[in-house]
Structure 1
């Protein structure tokens, strides 16, 4: 084994006499620059700057955290990552694992599928999950490697040079990660915390110009847990129609609502504006590791087709080959045979968790939440730093909380909103209660003493 601490030994062991005409004499066969290792030609390897500069703030934070050591009987409680399977209390639908095993044992799905996905799976996605448009066909669906890839492909298909895209703030940071990677200028529109996190439509309109290729709408929302009303979605669609800007609708949390509002698909308004819907099985069916999502094109006026966006998506999925055929083959079973009781159990877990967190926030000086979440599995909590003079910002708040109380939360900065934190309330109630007990103790310890 070559030791990196000894560059001379590396040169000696990796020297290939076929690359020169004799002993090393400082002259490069190809006239390349010499490095300091005995005149060996320097490798002309350079990383793609776009890849090096790409960041996923959530992954950056989660994967860079040092391990915490249990102490005084405390174990770490993470309210940071949106993984409904992390605590083991929520499991996939009955029969899902068996269906996957049976599919594997059948040996019928070991090869490649159509680049857009298995035909039967695409048909079922239309028939059982997005039947808002009866004219849709299997060709309007692309199966992807999770909802994240669905979003990525939608952005990539629209990313013309010199263009810009409208993104929510706060918003899921992967939107900006993909957009920046493909050279799009990111323009952020604000969600209004005191108006149930609705979009500031006036501000959004001011951001649009002739180079705006799309706006991304997340409903139900990450990181706010908001569920938009029919009226607000209609206003968004009307504005998009007037501005001639297509919508990428991130609906990975579709139907995961437990408040007073019902989920309204963005495609309800596709007669106004073309909609590219990104969805998947990760969250509603509690299998994020299965990595299966989809894109559904709602384009009754043929606008995307005339703009060759459909052709672009087809080319892109042909390049990536497609997601796991075994999981694709299980999709019909998930969509057809999952009981309503399964979904209701999940929604009850989310509802109870959201209610507990919202009530606990109201008890803690220095923290506030403008409205109770009604969907997804997240809520945003505001930190009033006039009450925490020892702590400077949300990054420090999250870091010190984790260090002192072994509770992990994500700083709002990761979502574009400073001095807030995001809480995931999908954990078991016992974990949530313990976590909030610790957060309350932490805040009492650091809150500014009243005169």
Structure 2
């Protein structure tokens, strides 16, 4: 390394190659939510309450800013963005995103460090496909976002899980990371702000993660799709701050902070002031992949500079204040339901993990049965923990209109009372 470290980084020299793809046999959030929606009682005339997915845009209180809407309209009317995009994204958008992220970094990104993707989902696909090589493995958090595991399996990339520790605010079990890693480990993934846990990692913990990655000679993939959605004791700190300790791929998008998940505009950013990714050939591999994949809609790319420049802090503050209110409602109401325990009040993102005690229930054996019966009897959708790697837990979203959240939790309480074991 240029900074004098003796660490031998364990990735490099691999070029993206087109391998045979198999279907990954794994749970996904979308598949399980579709199963629960198909299980609804069609005779129940009450509105369905969606506590299982992170899309608050359907509620008027969570609408995006007019600055973003105006930017899209201006981009379309200009007729400057009706052509194909370059494969890595148009230059004005990449420049604007680099400058936007530079506000929080101790060094400067350039447009060449930014690659635009169709949402953060494609960013995950690109990175995991590029890293895949025979015998390689990647370290994923448990609980985590299951799309990582699905994509890794598609690319024949071995997955190893390290635990997040609820008793420590869902911090990474760094001892487990060191025990899991070997000479074939390429990277560890962190999701901060946390999906599904609602946690925000402190500066000190992020630094320890970077130092552990450096010690092991691996990169960090930092999923920051919920960046800046922080309303607890810890401010959001981007992992890229520690890019000089260990190289970081930052994955992000406008989906969550601007509440426009359907616009499908994301990015991969190389936070790597030591140039390790360039030397290893990984940047070239990303470009090779993007040469044979689809691009984000060009008019949305064209709107990005105006979106980033014109969105006022009042819009962000309103969103944060609303999430703080709904997080409080969720945490307080869950305490009234004896079979549910919330180990940590959420500090960020849009979710909280809740432990399910089936021993208090008469005829429910696990989290999946709980969610199926809840959807059938109460028209409330909650994601079972098996979707995120934690059996007999639930992931609950609080990013919905407060009165709807109150009603949904009240229905869950009624569901518990109906199924509670008789004393």
The TM tier, using the shorter chain, reads over 0.9
Compute the displacement of 1:240 (Å): 0.4
Residue 113, structure 1, aligned to residue 82, structure 2: no
Q: Deviations over 1:375-403 (max 9, x none)?
A: 00000110111211421000000011111
Q: Could you tell me which residue of structure 1 aligns to residue 379 of structure 2?
A: 406
Q: Quick one: distance in 2 between partners of 1:432 and 1:240?
A: 39
Q: Quick one: distance in 1 between partners of 2:139 and 2:246?
A: 15
Residue 299, structure 1, aligned to residue 281, structure 2: no
Task: Calculate the aligned-residue CA RMSD, in Å.
Answer: 1.5
Compute the displacement of 1:154 (Å): 1.3
Pick aligned residue for 1:68 from 11, 20, 40? 40
Q: Could you tell me which residue of structure 2 aligns to residue 79 of structure 1?
A: 51
Q: Could you tell me which residue of structure 1 aligns to residue 24 of structure 2?
A: 53
Q: Any runs of at least 4 consecutive aligned residues in structure 1 with deviations exceeding 4 A, and if so which?
A: 69-73
Residues 220 and 251 of structure 1 are in contact (CA less than 8 Å); yes or no, is this contact kept in structure 2? Answer: yes
Structure 2 residue runs of 5 or longer lacking an equivalent are: 1-18
Matching of residues 15-414 of structure 1 within 5 Å: 50-53=21-24, 55=26, 57-64=28-35, 65-66=37-38, 68-69=40-41, 71=43, 73-131=45-103, 132-414=105-387
Aligned positions, number:
403
Question: Which range moves more in the overlay, 105-114 or 263-272?
Answer: 105-114
Compute the displacement of 1:317 (Å): 1.3
Residue 419, structure 1, aligned to residue 419, structure 2: no
Q: Quick one: distance in 2 between partners of 1:271 and 1:105?
A: 42
Q: TM-score, normalised by structure 1?
A: 0.87
Q: Quick one: distance in 1 between partners of 2:297 and 2:52?
A: 28
Residues 70 and 76 of structure 1 are in contact (CA less than 8 Å); yes or no, is this contact kept in structure 2? Answer: no
Q: Deviations over 1:146-200 (max 9, x none)?
A: 0111121111121111111000000000010111111011100000111100111
Larger gyration radius, structure 1 or structure 2: 1
Higher RCO (CA-CA < 8 Å; seq separation 6+):
2
Q: Quick one: distance in 2 between partners of 1:130 and 1:144?
A: 19
Compute the displacement of 1:72 (Å): 6.3
Compute the displacement of 1:129 (Å): 2.6
Compute the displacement of 1:107 (Å): 1.3
Q: Deviations over 1:247-287 (max 9, x none)?
A: 00000011110111100110111111000000010000111
Q: Could you tell me which residue of structure 2 aligns to residue 437 of structure 1?
A: 410
Q: TM-score, normalised by structure 2?
A: 0.92
Q: Quick one: distance in 2 between partners of 1:69 and 1:403?
A: 5
